[in-house]
Amino acid sequence: MKGLYFQQSSTNEEITFLFQERENLPVTEDNYVKLQVKACALSQINTKLLTEMKMEKEFFPVGREIAGVVLDGILPLDSEDPGLCEVVRVHEHYLVHKPEKVTWTEAAGTIRDGVRAYTALHYLSHLSPGKSVLIMDGASAFGTIAIQLAHHRGAKVISTACSLEDKQCLERLRPPVARVIDVSNGKVHVAESCLEETGGLGVDIVLDAGVRLYNKDDEPSMKLQLPHKHDIITLLGVGGHWVTTEENLQLDPPDSHCLFLKGATVAFLNDEVWNLSNVQQGKYLCILKDVMEKLSTGVFRPQLEEPIPLYEAKVSMEVVQKNQGRKKQVVQF
C-alpha cells in the first residue's frame, strides 16, 4: 500500500514529493480507528513550523484533511500516516461524522478552511451581527469560506481581488460583498477604500492574507500586491481586531502606539493550535461538527477543482506547495 510523503533538502529550502510503500498498519489500539480514505484535500505544508516543533524526519506524510468510511477529520500534525493513502489509523478525537448529503470531496475540501475561518472570525475576533469585516484575497479557497461564514453571522464584508477573474468571482457571490477592492494594478489604496465604505470609522475586523513590512523596493515580487502594515493599522476601527497570517509581523513603537490609541488587538492565525493542546479538544470537535453542519445546509459552498486520482497527487502537491492554485484540490480514491 503506497502513500505520499515529502523529503526536505539539507538546506530545508526545497522539498521533494515521492510515493513510498507503507508497512501494514499496526493493530488498532484503544480509541484508534482504521479509516478507509475516500478523499483527501491538498494544502500547503508549513515546513518552518514542523522544524520549530522539532518534528523533522526523513520522510514526512502528506495529506491531512481526509474524508472516508466510517468518519472524517483532520489528521493531527504529528500523524505518521499520510492522508494520501487508502487506509490510515487515527485517534477518534480527531474525527467527526460526515452528514449524508455531503460528498467525500466536499468534506475533505472544506474541513481545514472551515476550521481556519472559525478560528479567525469566532475565536480570535469575536464576530457578531452588524460588524464590518475586511477579508483579504477573498477569491481564494480560504477567503471564500471566510466570507460565507461572515455573511452567515450577519457581518458586512469587504474584500480584495488580486486579478480581474478574482474580482468577477467575488462580485458573483450571494449574499453580495459590500465592496470588492481590485488591487491587481497597484493603484487602488485599500485603506482609503475601506474608510470610504465605512464612513471614516474603519473596519471592525481585518483578516489579512499577509502584509508588506517594508517598502515595495525591499519586498519580494510575490508580496507587492499585499497592503503595507501601516495601511491595515490605518483602516482598523476603534476597538478593532486584526487577525494576521504574517508569522514574522514586526510592529514598531509608533505602530503599537496607534493600536493602543484605538484600543485594537492583533492576533495571529495559526490553526494548528487546536492540535497542540488536549485542553482545546472539546472546542476543536465543536468546530469540526459545525463546519460539517454548515456544509450540509449550504452555508459553506467551497470552490473545488475537479477531483484527481492518487497517481496525480505528486504533481498537484508540487503546485499547491508553490501556492499557485486558487481553488482547493482534492484527491479522490
Q: Is residue 122 part of a domain?
A: no
Same domain, 251 and 278: no
| Whether residue 101 is found in the same domain as residue 166 | no
Instruction: Kindly state whether residues 214 and 315 are assigned to the same domain.
Output: no
Domain match, 169 and 84 both:
no
For 79-109, write each residue's pLDDT tens digit. Answer: 767 777 788 878 777 888 999 999 999 999 9
Final residue belonging to a domain, choices 229, 253, 268: 268
Q: Could you tell me if residue 117 is inside a domain? A: no
**258 shares its domain with 205:** yes
The answer to the question of residue 240 being in a domain is yes
Residue 55 within any structural domain of the chain: yes
Alpha helices in the chain (DSSP H): 47-52, 104-118, 141-152, 164-171, 190-197, 229-235, 253-262, 281-297, 313-321
From 48, 57, 46, 55, select the one nearest 20 (Cα to Cα): 57
The verdict on 136 and 250 lying in the same domain is yes
Domain co-membership, 236 together with 132: yes
Note down the domain range covering 197. Answer: 127-268
DSSP label at residue 238: E
CA distance 56 to 7: 10
The verdict on residue 302 lying in a domain is yes
Same domain, residue pair 65 and 141: no
DSSP 77: T
Contacts 24+ apart (CB under 8 A), 246-254: 246/208, 246/210, 246/211, 246/213, 247/48, 248/213, 249/211, 249/213, 250/213
Distance CA 166, CA 154 (A): 23
133: domain CATH number is: 3.40.50.720
Query: What CATH code is carried by the domain that includes residue 77?
Result: 3.90.180.10
Is 137 domain-assigned?
A: yes
The verdict on 15 and 132 lying in the same domain is no
Q: What is the DSSP letter of 200?
A: T
Residue 121 lies in a domain: no
Tens of pLDDT, residue by residue over 150-195, are 999 999 999 999 989 999 999 999 999 999 999 988 777 899 999 9
| Cβ partners under 8 Å of residue 253, min gap 6 | none
Q: Measure CA of the first residue to CA of the last residue in the chain; give whole Å.
A: 13
In a domain, 119, yes or no: no
pLDDT of residue 27: 54
13-18 long-range CB contacts below 8 Å, 24 or more apart? 15/45, 15/47, 15/321, 17/62, 17/314, 17/317, 17/318, 17/321, 18/59, 18/314
Mark whether 195 and 233 lie in a shared domain: yes
> How many separate domains does the chain show?
2
306 and 244 in a single domain? The answer is no
List per-residue pLDDT tens for the chain, 333 residues long.
688 888 876 555 678 888 877 766 655 566 777 888 899 999 888 878 777 777 667 777 888 888 988 655 667 777 767 777 788 878 777 888 999 999 999 999 999 999 999 999 999 999 999 999 999 999 999 999 999 999 999 999 999 999 899 999 999 999 999 999 999 887 778 999 999 999 999 999 999 998 988 876 666 666 767 889 999 999 999 999 999 999 889 999 999 999 999 999 999 999 888 877 778 788 888 999 999 999 999 999 999 999 999 889 888 988 888 876 788 999 998
